[in-house]
Every structure is written in structure tokens, then in C-alpha cells.
Structure 1
Amino acid sequence: MQEANPKDKIEYTVALVSDFAKKYSLSTTQAFNYLDRFNAIDFVNQHYNIAHTLSFSEIVDDLALYCKNHGGNL
């Protein structure tokens, strides 16, 4: 499998953080810090090739669950 373009990964992650922030009524900075604290940003980066095939709604829900399973509490 070909490695994703870093620019595509960054743009995807920025859009994902923005949607996460909107869903949970956070600023984008708060959303990024929360996702980063519970390693969800690394998870998305590592699994980008699969994650980007899912709907934003689905991946946002999955990231919330991932964070919860790693100590998060939104």
C-alpha cells in the first residue's frame, strides 16, 4: 500500500479536529489538545489509510470512544 501524501494527512486531520470540536462544543485548540492527550491524533496518523475512507461522523464517534478507552471523559 502506498504511503499517503503528508499534506493530505494534515488537511484530513485539521478537518477532523474541526468536526470533533463542533460536535463537542470545543474550540479547535481544545479539541486538538484533547485528541492529542489521549493519543487519538497519533492513531489517526497511523491508520490514515483506513480512517479517511470512513465518514467524518463515524470517525469522530470512533475517536471519542478511543479517547474514552484511554482515559478521556467528554
Structure 2
Amino acid sequence: MSIKKRADGAEQPYSLGILKLRLPFVHYKLEIPDILQGMILCVVPLSITALMTQILGIPFEIAVAFVVLNNFLY
């Protein structure tokens, strides 16, 4: 549920030039598709850590660090 209520079609309260800043739980509610997309975006890249540890022989922590760094830089 959103904290701030607004009329349909009204402007969002925070503007960034030509863009609008919309914060989760403040301007829009969390929905099931958002949760599923977030889970997929976390699980799929982390699945490569098993291959990195087996094939490349690197420790699990370093494999996770590689994946996290790759996701932030992507």
C-alpha cells in the first residue's frame, strides 16, 4: 500500500528535471510481478557461482563478489 495518496493523473511530488522520482512504498505499492522480477534478477546471475567454483576453482565468496560486481556494472 502506498503511503501518499494522489488523484489519478496527478503529478508525483518529486521531480528531477524532466523525470519524476518514484520511491517504492511511498509513491507506488509493491506488487507480485515486481517481487517475481526481483527474485529472477537475483537467482539467475547467482546460479553461475556454482559453475565458477567447479570449473574455475575459485572460492564461493569470490564468485559471489564477481557476480555482484558484474550486476552493478551491467
TM bracket, shorter-chain basis: 0.3 to 0.5
Bigger radius of gyration among the two: 2
Structure with the largest fraction of strand: 2
Using the size of structure 1 for normalisation, the TM-score is 0.39
Larger relative contact order (CA 8 Å, sep ≥ 6): 1
TM-score by length of 2: 0.39
Structure having the larger proportion of residues in helix? 1
